[in-house]
Structure 1
Amino acid sequence: MAISNSEGEIASKEGERKRKRKGEVRPSQSKWRLDSEQKTYSSKLLEALRCVRAGAPAEPSRTRAVREAANRALAMAARGQTRWSRAILSSRTLKLTAAKRRRAAASRLKRSGGASQEKKRSPAIQRKARVLGKLVPGCRQLSFPKLLEETSDYIAALEMQVRAMSALSEILSSIGSGSGAPPPA
């Protein structure tokens, strides 16, 4: 029994969809799970930490410098492809003054006119989205779907940062303790 061309195409597309759904991993999350990305970040972090070690003499400023170096290395590993990485690389604080906030809110109200998606959401969700936008660098003024996309990428990047820093701390602690045993892989 022969399958016609159009039936065969439909069956193959159906199979592709099922395979995509089964092994579906978001590109932003899978990107940060790669060993190559973690190695890239680790090398950038080591380079940044060497610069910090050579520079900042006082303890409080050194702590801040290490945090900033780790964030900048993470943003460099993202290659500026996301909004949060561009915000970190440009060193903008993205804090608007109260007057700018009022003007921005007034212009949004003028533009919206009718009932928008923002108005349909409950106030609790709007509040939580606003707080989330403040936590992710450069994401204060994003629409809700874009905010969630940026947040998921930022979380995946931070998880990778934690893995890399944990591995680095294990290596440094084994070197510092003088045990000749290599660190676990």
Structure 2
Amino acid sequence: MNAYHSKQTHYIRVSLIVFIMLLLGACSSSKSNIDYDVNTDFNAINSFQFSSSTKVTNLALDDLTEQRVKNAIADELANKALLESSDGADVQVSFFLSEQQKENNSSFSIGLGGSTGGRVSTGIGLGTTFPIGDRVDTLTNLTIEFYRNGKLIWRGFDELDFGKNASPDKRTEAINKTVANILTKYPPS
């Protein structure tokens, strides 16, 4: 094997690794978003209770989904040493679902390049992008809010995706995962 062929093989391997890493990065899961009152001492919060959300949303919450979300929140907060209380808790926790329409801006790109070997290098590069479909996706967001003395002190939200025909187990799994993603950022650091 000559040195030119070895360099060419190395270049192909490195290019393939970079391509795979970029592809995996593009497919990463959604990231939850939070906002909070910077003046709140979250270390002083030891208990919570659920309260009904007063938000008017475009998506009704059925009893089964509501119970799954409550169970997931209670489990996550118990893991953070917050006790559920039926009266006089430090914070009131509410949650709601909302939907939004998002255009699918997916595309596929192709790039070509080349060069000549030897002492003199020249190259040419070409690239183009092809749109993939023009559909509109519906995203469902789960928002969890913490109130103290009637004042919002913490809010987190993330996309909730369990599909229209998901089994009860798949719905529970998706809700647990989304709630865990949101509450990993509670308390804020």
Per the shorter chain, which TM-score range? under 0.3
More helix by share: 1
In the superposition, the TM-score normalised over structure 2's length comes to 0.26
More strand by share: 2
